[in-house]
């Protein structure tokens, strides 16, 4: 019998477990996390608000989840966005094509941004065959932490301290919004996104560095440590790896060397924790940032592609 496709507005606990098992299997097979951190963070809650979940299941005894699609319809300006994952045994038989067609059909205005984590030729072929065009590219860059790092100097009057849970959420969120006002994803975070991450096992306030000047926050470097848990958002890795999670500077303080100093401060913090490597994500189009990271020893490791129609 043919696989069945259905849509849910909220996942049940059993469905959440099925999606997690599917993701774990695909990470083992491909060595690449197929879904973004945002999706994985909200998955235990049954999914984020205003999200549609597309599930493809076999119709034999003991139902098996063959594919899962996550459709976010909340961005009326840029259009809906989606991610999907397909079990290896269900590939090349039309499951992915069926899911993408359904995600397009359910997008309110027919526009859709489709994220492919890892630059797989099969994903590119499927996207192009359905009328999608390459519209945005994210690089994952890496560097070792086993060598000496350059020293850093903070601008005069700036001091570093660690994030304080229960105290800094509101002010940090306001600074993040100013620093990333033009960013399509980061600038939209609210306090609830911080609280959600505070509940994650990887959260460490000592690795969340805040820069203060004249009694207010002017910059930050939020670092993260990935372990072997594929739900952490990084690709599968048996050795812990650090991440330059978010670096931001108040627009009024930009151009004074605070950003590079904060980046290095975070790298030193990760190195002191005994990590051998660090990663980060950056838009391919942000050539100023990629050059800074290249000067710091980072090289491109993997690529995520957004396909749009």
CATH of the domain at 76: 3.40.630.30
Domain final residue pick, 86, 102, 131: 131
Q: CA-CA distance, 11 to 16, in Å (whole number)? A: 6
Domain final residue pick, 131, 162, 177: 131
Are residues 146 and 126 part of one domain?
no
Confidence bin at 119 (pLDDT 50/70/90): confident
Confidence bin at 238 (pLDDT 50/70/90): low
Poorest-confidence range of 33-42, 137-146, 157-166?
A: 33-42
In a domain, 308, yes or no: no
Tokens for 217, please give them: 């926050």
Are residues 106 and 58 part of one domain?
yes
Q: What is the pLDDT of residue 230?
A: 40
Q: What is the pLDDT of residue 2?
A: 78
Please say if the pLDDT value at position 283 is more than 50.
yes
Poorest-confidence range of 118-122, 201-205, 276-280?
A: 118-122
Are residues 163 and 290 part of one domain?
yes
Q: Which pTM does this prediction carry?
A: 0.84
Tokens for 159, please give them: 């001091």
User: Pick from 197, 189, 245: which is nearest to 221 by CA?
Assistant: 245
Are residues 118 and 12 part of one domain?
yes
Are residues 146 and 108 part of one domain?
no
Domain final residue pick, 113, 131, 149: 131
The average pLDDT across 213-242 equals 76
Task: Return the sign of the alpha-carbon dihedral for residues 40, 41, 45, 51.
Answer: negative
Are residues 163 and 127 part of one domain?
no
Are residues 57 and 86 part of one domain?
yes
Are residues 286 and 233 part of one domain?
yes
Are residues 295 and 213 part of one domain?
yes
In a domain, 234, yes or no: yes
In a domain, 309, yes or no: no
Full DSSP string of 116-128: EES--HHHHHHHH
Domain range for residue 62? 4-131
In a domain, 307, yes or no: no
Distances from the Cα of 259 to the Cα of 57, 208, 268, angstroms: 47, 15, 14
Distances from the Cα of 205 to the Cα of 38, 195, 197, 223, 244, angstroms: 20, 12, 11, 9, 14
Are residues 153 and 296 part of one domain?
yes
Are residues 284 and 148 part of one domain?
yes
Q: What is the pLDDT of residue 203?
A: 95
Poorest-confidence range of 95-104, 156-165, 282-291?
A: 282-291
Are residues 116 and 167 part of one domain?
no
In a domain, 185, yes or no: yes
Q: How many CA atoms lie within 13 A of 234 on its CB side?
A: 26
- Residues 296 and 267 sit within 8 Å (Cβ to Cβ): yes
Give me the number of domains the chain comprises: 2
């Amino acid at each position: 019998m043919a696989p069945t496709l259905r849509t849910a507005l909220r996942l049940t606990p059993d469905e959440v477990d099925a999606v997690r098992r599917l993701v774990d299997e695909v990470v083992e097979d491909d060595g690449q996390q197929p879904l973004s951190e945002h999706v994985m963070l909200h998955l235990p809650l049954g999914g984020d608000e205003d999200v549609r979940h597309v599930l493809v299941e076999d119709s034999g005894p003991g139902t098996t989840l063959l594919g899962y699609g996550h459709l976010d319809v909340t961005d009326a300006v840029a259009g809906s966005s989606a991610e999907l994952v397909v079990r290896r045994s269900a590939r090349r038989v039309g499951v992915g094509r069926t899911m993408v067609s359904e995600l397009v059909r359910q997008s309110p205005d027919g526009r859709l941004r489709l994220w492919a984590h890892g630059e797989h030729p099969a994903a590119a072929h499927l996207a192009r065959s359905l009328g999608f065009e390459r519209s945005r590219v994210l690089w994952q860059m890496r560097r070792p932490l086993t060598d000496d790092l350059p020293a850093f100097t903070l601008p005069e009057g700036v001091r570093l301290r660690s994030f304080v849970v229960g105290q800094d959420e509101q002010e940090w969120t306001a600074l993040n919004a100013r620093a990333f006002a033009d960013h399509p994803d980061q600038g939209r975070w609210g306090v609830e996104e911080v609280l959600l991450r505070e509940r994650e096992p990887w959260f460490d306030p000592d690795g969340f560095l805040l820069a203060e000047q004249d009694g207010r926050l002017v910059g930050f470097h939020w670092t993260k440590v990935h372990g072997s848990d594929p739900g952490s958002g990084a690709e599968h890795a048996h050795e812990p790896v650090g991440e330059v999670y978010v670096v931001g500077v108040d627009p009024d303080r930009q151009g004074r060397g605070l950003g590079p100093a904060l980046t290095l401060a975070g790298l030193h913090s990760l190195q002191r924790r005994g990590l051998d490597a660090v990663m980060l994500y950056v838009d391919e189009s942000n050539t100023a940032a990629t050059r800074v990271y290249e000067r710091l020893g980072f090289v491109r490791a993997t690529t995520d592609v957004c396909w749009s129609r």
